[in-house]
């Protein structure tokens, strides 16, 4: 028998009405408690989160937010202007724009990359590759130092992530005329060569910085604060006279072309201050487009050395006069125009016979200079040359300046002493030679050459003023009828100077290439200017009196006029050419050298 369960019958009242089951009472207080607990927990969570955001991790989240919109950007400053001594600008900085991009942002718009590449003037595939290679960065230069209008044309495209910033580009109004002195700056406007490098800290200034807010396209929408005050570069006034610089450049270049020479240099100094008024070289280059052969960029006047040849004879004669063994009128026999010494034959270009010491300079006698030197101690000759600055840097401060070479006196044999006496066996720069002649011109006082106008430049006495004056007077005979440098004459002015011709040294000896030199002082009676001209490997004639001396004459004629220097030889002056027995009168044409005439040349060993 199966047992089954049945639900209990509903309860009824006595009248038969059904009785509803009793509903348990609702716990309203408990429900409210639960709600309040939930709200409390939520509030606590919000408070904790707010504290975390506003207090605990405030710096982190601020940094993250700033990283997306706040940027610190540089405030570019202009490099100082370089002026010549008369206030003419030689180097100026002009504002330009550089276009940059956030690679990641630009890559999010691949369809616009060809458009951007066309505006930049580059290949689209190359641009995309460049962006991909640097997509982990937020800043990448696309093109630098653009004309502001060209940069604006790129920005007008409205490509997100592309922007521009102000920069400065150096411009040199004088072009190749002043290139070797000034040097150049790089794309960041920092000095790389020349005086731009020497005075970079002075000229460069200090860029500033500011914080800005940028939108998602990289455009600045608000300046927030100044982080660092910008400090513009300071101006620099040089001793260079732009007008004389141009004269030297023009006439040196003309001589290089006329004589088919390889290269050349010229330096012009103020004899009383040591200020460099001009320094030029050939070949030159355009610093506004400096993609030139490195050989063209070298400032040969301070970096290249030469054997100075006969331009060293005045210092040998100064040693001789200082010794008391010789006077300007002491005779010396140079017959027969050659001198055999230690198996080496020293030659003059002709047999000058019996000369005075002054005549040794006038006719540039190697034999006479060698015989005089053999009467002098090695130490005395070395000391004289060293006092005039040979064998050490001039102290001009120009980058890469060579100290030249003056061998120690203890290494000299009789042959070395003789050859040093007429300018072989030592090396000098064009600037060193100019410094030494400036010391002669300034009464035996040596100054460091300087490129800066008006700096204090004390002199060091190296020889007695009267001795210096005597040497200058002796050198006047070189630039007069009978001397080797008549073509160095300057109308209406007395000139003192010395020619030099040397062979170019190669490993193991000398080659059949020559260096033509002239060093001069003008006006000789009251020296104001000193100039040295050095020309390498001229073709045809190669003597200093025919190649370099005319350059001196042309440049000094213009420079003395520009500086308004009073003439000191109005009545009688020599315009160049052979000895005709009488001064050439103003306005007349100087006769040319007669064919085969060697009386105004000098021997080259």
Over the range 554-566, which residues count as b (16 or more CB within 10 Å of their CB) and which as e? bbbbbbbeeeebe
Distance CA 207, CA 227 (A): 11
Of 98, 76, 220, 213, the C-alpha closest to 154 is: 98
Q: Which two tokens stand for residue 436?
A: 């030494």
Distance CA 109, CA 160 (A): 8
Distance CA 159, CA 479 (A): 72
Q: Which two tokens stand for residue 430?
A: 């064009």
* Cα 596 from chain centroid (whole Å): 44
Question: Is 310 a catalytic site residue?
Answer: yes
Q: What ranges in 333-408 are assigned the alpha helix state H?
A: 357-362, 366-373, 378-387
Say which residues have a Cβ less than 8 Å from residue 124's Cβ, sequence separation at least 6: 113, 114, 117, 118
Q: What ranges in 103-155 are assigned the alpha helix state H?
A: 103-107, 113-120, 124-133, 148-155
Q: Which of 239, 310, 502, 516 does the annotation list as catalytic?
A: 310
Distance CA 389, CA 385 (A): 7
Within the chain, how many helices (H) and strands (E) appear?
21, 19
Q: Which two tokens stand for residue 48?
A: 């904790």
Of 439, 424, 426, 453, the C-alpha closest to 394 is: 439
Over the range 366-397, which residues count as b (16 or more CB within 10 Å of their CB) and which as e? bbbbbbbbeebebeebbebbebbbbbebbebe
Q: Could you give the residue numbers annotated as active site? A: 310
């Amino acid at each position: 028998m199966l047992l089954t369960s049945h639900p209990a019958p509903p309860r009824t009242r006595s009248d038969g009405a059904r009785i509803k089951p009793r509903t348990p009472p609702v716990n309203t207080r408990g429900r409210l408690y639960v709600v309040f607990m939930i709200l409390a927990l939520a509030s606590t969570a919000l408070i904790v989160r707010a504290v975390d955001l506003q207090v605990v991790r405030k710096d982190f989240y601020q940094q993250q937010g700033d990283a997306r919109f706040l940027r610190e950007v540089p405030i570019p400053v202009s490099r100082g202007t370089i002026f010549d001594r008369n206030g003419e600008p030689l180097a100026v900085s002009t504002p330009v724009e550089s276009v940059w991009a956030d690679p990641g942002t630009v890559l999010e718009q691949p369809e616009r990359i060809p458009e951007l590449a066309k505006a930049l003037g580059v290949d689209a595939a190359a641009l995309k590759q460049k962006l991909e290679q640097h997509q982990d960065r937020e800043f990448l230069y696309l093109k630098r130092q653009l004309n502001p209008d060209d940069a604006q044309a790129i920005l007008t495209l409205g490509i997100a992530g592309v922007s521009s910033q102000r920069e400065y580009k150096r411009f040199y109004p004088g072009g190749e005329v002043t290139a070797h002195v000034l040097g150049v700056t790089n794309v960041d406007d920092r000095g790389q060569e020349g005086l731009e490098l020497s005075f970079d800290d002075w000229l460069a200034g200090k860029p500033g910085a500011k914080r800005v807010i940028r939108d998602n396209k990289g455009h600045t929408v608000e300046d927030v604060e100044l982080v660092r005050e910008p400090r513009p570069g300071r101006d620099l006034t040089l001793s260079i006279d732009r007008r004389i610089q141009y004269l030297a450049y023009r006439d040196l270049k003309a001589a290089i072309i006329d004589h088919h020479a390889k290269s050349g240099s010229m330096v012009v100094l103020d004899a009383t201050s040591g200020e460099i008024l001009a320094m030029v070289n050939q070949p030159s280059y355009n610093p506004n487009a400096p993609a030139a052969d490195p050989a063209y960029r070298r400032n040969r006047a301070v970096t290249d050395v030469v054997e100075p040849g006969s331009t060293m004879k005045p210092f040998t004669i100064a040693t001789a006069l200082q010794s008391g063994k010789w006077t300007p009128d002491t005779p010396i026999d140079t017959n027969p125009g050659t001198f055999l010494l230690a198996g080496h034959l020293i030659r003059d270009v002709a047999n000058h016979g019996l000369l005075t010491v002054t005549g040794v300079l006038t006719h540039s006698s190697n034999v006479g200079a060698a015989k005089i030197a053999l009467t002098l101690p090695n130490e005395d000759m070395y000391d004289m040359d060293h006092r005039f600055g040979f064998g050490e840097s001039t102290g001009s401060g120009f980058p890469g300046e060579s100290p030249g070479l003056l061998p120690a006196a203890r290494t000299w044999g009789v042959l070395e002493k003789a050859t040093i006496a007429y300018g072989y066996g030592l090396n000098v720069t064009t600037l060193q030679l100019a410094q030494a002649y400036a010391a002669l011109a300034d009464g035996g006082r040596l100054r460091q050459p300087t490129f800066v106008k008006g700096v204090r430049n004390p002199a060091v006495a190296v020889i007695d003023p009267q001795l210096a004056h005597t040497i200058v007077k002796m050198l006047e005979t070189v630039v007069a009828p009978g001397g080797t440098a008549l073509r160095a004459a300057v109308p209406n002015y007395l000139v003192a100077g010395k020619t030099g011709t040397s062979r170019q040294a190669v490993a193991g000896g000398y080659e059949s290439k020559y260096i033509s030199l002239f060093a001069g002082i003008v006006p000789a009676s009251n020296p104001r200017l000193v100039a040295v001209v050095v020309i390498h490997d001229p073709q045809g004639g190669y003597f200093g009196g025919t190649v370099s001396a005319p350059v001196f004459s042309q440049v000094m004629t213009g420079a003395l006029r520009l500086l308004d220097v009073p003439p000191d030889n109005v009545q009688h002056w020599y315009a160049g050419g052979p000895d005709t027995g009488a001064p050439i009168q103003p306005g007349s044409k100087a006769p040319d050298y007669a064919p085969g005439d060697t009386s105004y040349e000098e021997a080259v060993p």
